[in-house]
A and B are shown apart, each in its own frame.
Chain A
Amino acid sequence: DAKTTQPPSMDCAEGRAANLPCNHSTISGNEYVYWYRQIHSQGPQYIIHGLKNNETNEMASLIITEDRKSSTLILPHATLRDTAVYYCIVRVGAGNMLTFGGGTRLMVKP
């Protein structure tokens, strides 16, 4: 299984874009990059996923490098409610068991 590396913590000013990096240099060709977040001990929440192309939904954008060895989750206009731990996970599919590492603790400040 591809391992991921994320910074343990990041700060972001409210209203600014939050860019959360993830390294996954051993990713296989059929593995997707998933992002989940966990707000204050609630159950994790799916945000977005991608294989090769950049993806955008109502919550965030996902930028995957051409060699697929790293990616960035972008929250375009961070709010205080986006304060959470963000997990980058690499898997063939969500039916496959998810492995949650330490994640990045994002603190959005006023």
Chain B
Amino acid sequence: NAGVTQTPKFRILKIGQSMTLQCTQDMNHNYMYWYRQDPGMGLKLIYYSVGAGITDKGEVPNGYNVSRSTTEDFPLRLELAAPSQTSVYFCASTRAWRDHEQYFGPGTRLTVT
């Protein structure tokens, strides 16, 4: 199993541009999450999904959108990039609510200038 994969690894955006961060997991996990991590800080939850077709907001959802059309994929969309969205983005998954481990991807480092 590849686990949780994210693309791209790095990206530089200009203010106002849009992009989609890709996240895929091959473990048949129902739950998927998007976190962001600003320099020197802990992770903050952006959006999460409990299954295909079901998504909900986390702590910091403004400026982002998500969709979950399949169990495997959970893309994160930035519509109008702002410097405040410069961060490292992590995708994670877990099989069920009562499971004990979240599996994290390697992250996408995004810079908005």
Interface residues of A (CB under 8 A from B): 32, 34, 36, 41-46, 49, 87, 93-103
* B101 / chain A contacts, CB cutoff of 8 Å: 46, 49, 94
Q: Are A100 and B48 in contact (CB under 8 A)?
A: no
Interface bracket on B: 20 to 34
8 Å CB contact of A100 from B31, B43, B106: B43
* B31 / chain A contacts, CB cutoff of 8 Å: 95
- Nearest neighbor of B103 in chain A, beta-carbon distance: A46
Q: Are A93 and B100 in contact (CB under 8 A)?
A: yes
Q: Are B98 and A93 in contact (CB under 8 A)?
A: yes
CA distance in complex: A46, B44 (Å): 17
Dominant SS among interface residues on chain A: loop
Q: Are A43 and B106 in contact (CB under 8 A)?
A: yes
Q: Are B96 and A44 in contact (CB under 8 A)?
A: no
* A87 / chain B contacts, CB cutoff of 8 Å: 42
